[in-house]
Amino acid sequence: MQVKIFAPHWGSNELAPQAFIDKVLAAGFDGIEMSLPADSAQRDDWLRRIAGAKLDLIVAQWETVFHPQFDAHRAALATLLENACAARPLLVNSHTGKDYYSRAQNEELLALADRIARKHGVPIVHEIHRSRFSGHPMLLLPYLDALPDLMLTADLSHWCVACESLLEDQPETLEATLPRVRHIHARVGHAQGPQAIDFRAPEYAAELAAHLGWWDRIHALRRAAGADVMTITPEFGPAPYTVNLPYTRQPITDAWEQNVAMLQLLRERY
């Protein structure tokens, strides 16, 4: 099984497209995970440049966060997922639904995503993320029971802060969740926040070990399932995640540097 590691565009949005692509290539990533511009000309320019660099693409859909009301959220989700799938990425990672929508509403959104995925033949996976339908294990588990084809992106850093733990008291939750994972966001969280200031610091050794254990398990499950490819995106984000609040508002670590360090760790491990 081939492991492909993607560079997050998040945190480098200020760079011109070719400058970012050159940075990705220099670091040794296999591809890019990014949201696509709404403007079709800009979108086509990105896609040409990515293809020209022989990089793979994962499209991130997160913009529905700007649509808190259900009807607007559903309409935006349909448009964003259609545009994402039309780009023919390896997969689409979607921030879907809200933790305050009813189960019926969230299931309607998941069904909409499933129809679009089948129409285009592009997998759509739904990110474990605070405030989404998957923001806490007890929110997600009923959907896993009801929807056997539901596929996930594991960003378990969000559950660490949601549950104020490293999930050591929830082995059954992980047993139910990890087989559904098709993509990993390799970010290290802790009981009081979704991102370690620097995952390499010895103070975060237990957190790093816990996350590596989860990723190892996902890797083993995908290999046992006969998957050809497994995708991972190191996803350490910029300020405020690199800021040690409340003591300072200035970043004290560099998110890109951590993403490259995680790339190197994952290359050696897998």
pLDDT tens string, the chain, 270 residues long: the values are 999 999 999 999 999 999 999 999 999 999 999 999 999 999 999 999 999 999 999 999 999 999 999 999 999 999 999 999 999 999 999 999 999 999 999 999 999 999 999 999 999 999 999 999 999 999 999 999 999 999 999 999 999 999 999 999 999 999 999 999 999 999 999 999 999 999 999 999 999 999 999 999 999 999 999 999 999 999 998 877 776 655 556 667 899 999 999 999 999 999
pTM for the complete prediction?
Answer: 0.96
Residue among 184, 216, 157, 187 nearest 4 (CA):
184
Q: Residue 14 corresponds to which tokens in the numbers above? A: 């200020």
According to the model, what pLDDT value does residue 246 have? 53
Burial class, 227, CB count within 10 angstroms (exposed 0-12 / middle 13-18 / buried 19+): middle
Assess contact for 7 and 27: CB atoms under 8 A. Answer: yes
According to the model, what pLDDT value does residue 241 have? 73
Residue among 145, 253, 147 nearest 197 (CA):
253
- For residue 71, give Cα distances in angstroms to 67, 76, 185, 226: 9, 9, 29, 39
According to the model, what pLDDT value does residue 192 have? 93
Buried b vs exposed e over 98-115: b needs ≥16 C-beta within 10 Å?
beebeeebbbebbebbee
Annotate 25-72 with DSSP letters as a single string.
HHHT-SEEEEPPPSSHHHHHHHHHHHHHTT-EEEEEE-GGGG--SHHH
Q: Which amino acid is at 236?
A: F
All structural domains of the chain, each given as residue ranges with its CATH number in brackets, are 2-269 (3.20.20.150)
Residue tagged 């949201």 (tokens): 35
DSSP for residue 63:
G
Residue among 183, 181, 205, 198 nearest 236 (CA):
198
Assess contact for 55 and 28: CB atoms under 8 A. Answer: no
Q: Residue 221 corresponds to which tokens in the numbers above? A: 């499950």
